[in-house]
Amino acid sequence: MVGLGNPGTKYAATRHNIGFMVAEHVAASHNISLKKKGYQGVYGVGRAATQETTILLPHTFMNCSGASVKAAYKSLGVSSGDLIVISDDLDLPFGRLRIKTAGGHGGHNGLRDIVAVVGCKDFIRLRIGIGRPERGDVTGHVLSRFATDEQKLLPQLLDTAVAAVEKILVNGATEAMNAFNNYNLLAEQ
């Protein structure tokens, strides 16, 4: 399982780091310490939702995530169908989740690099909606912190994303898609 984001405190609470946030919440929920250094990032190993799991946070910066993922992927002997990549998605409104089992990068530079460097497209993606700015700088938007009203809902979104990951691990991607692809946090408020 890979959470995508950028290392360092400067980026810690930004929209682009929602992948890191979800992976960290999965780790915390299952008492998996993310303190080992390797694979050009930090990682931890343990049982998450009854499955032996390695959780990786690449420290190569988002646009170069492929090098870190490839190092872990090859070393651990993971098959592409067992790789879960968690990332932000500009094209999903804030509070929406989308699980896919294959496909392209959808314009996401971290996913683009993973596809190019690892050389496969058939891994599981959990995309977390961060919304697209109405106009203006997309880079500034993804590297900005969540708005105050979004910050209030962020814990619930992270909990739901953790539940989606657990569903993938226990029941597989298809059941997780059926359960979470229509999830809309804002509709539940």
Per-residue pLDDT, 105? 85
Q: Tell me the pLDDT tens digit for each residue of 18-40.
A: 999 999 999 999 999 999 999 99
| pTM of the full structure | 0.96
Per-residue pLDDT, 106? 83
Per-residue pLDDT, 188? 79
Looking up tokens 């804002």, which residue turns up?
Answer: 186
CA distance 188 to 175: 21
Q: Average pLDDT, whole number, for the chain?
A: 95
- Exposed, middle or buried, 39 (CB in 10 Å: 0-12/13-18/19+)? buried
Per-residue pLDDT, 53? 97
The tally of domains found in the chain comes to 1
Percent of the chain residues past pLDDT 90, beyond the cut = 89
What CATH number does the domain containing 6 carry?
3.40.50.1470
Which residues span the domain enclosing 97?
2-188
Side chain identity at residue 159, one-letter code: D
Residue 189 reports pLDDT greater than 80: no
Give CA torsion, residues 149, 152, 153, 154, to 10 deg: 110
Q: Which residues sit opposite 127 in a β-bridge? A: 87, 98
Are residues 20 and 4 in contact, defined by beta-carbon separation less than 8 angstroms?
yes
Q: Tell me the pLDDT tens digit for each residue of 51-90.
A: 999 999 999 999 999 999 999 999 999 998 999 999 999 9
Catalytic residue at 59?
no
Q: Which residues sit opposite 46 in a β-bridge? A: 53
Per-residue pLDDT, 134? 85
Per-residue pLDDT, 101? 95
Q: Tell me the pLDDT tens digit for each residue of 141-187.
A: 999 999 999 999 999 999 999 999 999 999 999 999 999 998 999 88
CA distance 83 to 54: 10
Are residues 141 and 103 in contact, defined by beta-carbon separation less than 8 angstroms?
no
Residue 135 reports pLDDT greater than 90: no
Residue 134: φ, ψ to 5°: -60, -35
Q: Tell me the pLDDT tens digit for each residue of 103-116.
A: 888 889 999 999 99
CA distance 166 to 62: 24
Calculate mean pLDDT across residues 5-17: 95
Are residues 85 and 114 in contact, defined by beta-carbon separation less than 8 angstroms?
yes
Side chain identity at residue 165, one-letter code: V
Per-residue pLDDT, 107? 83
Catalytic residue among 16, 105, 108, 141: 16
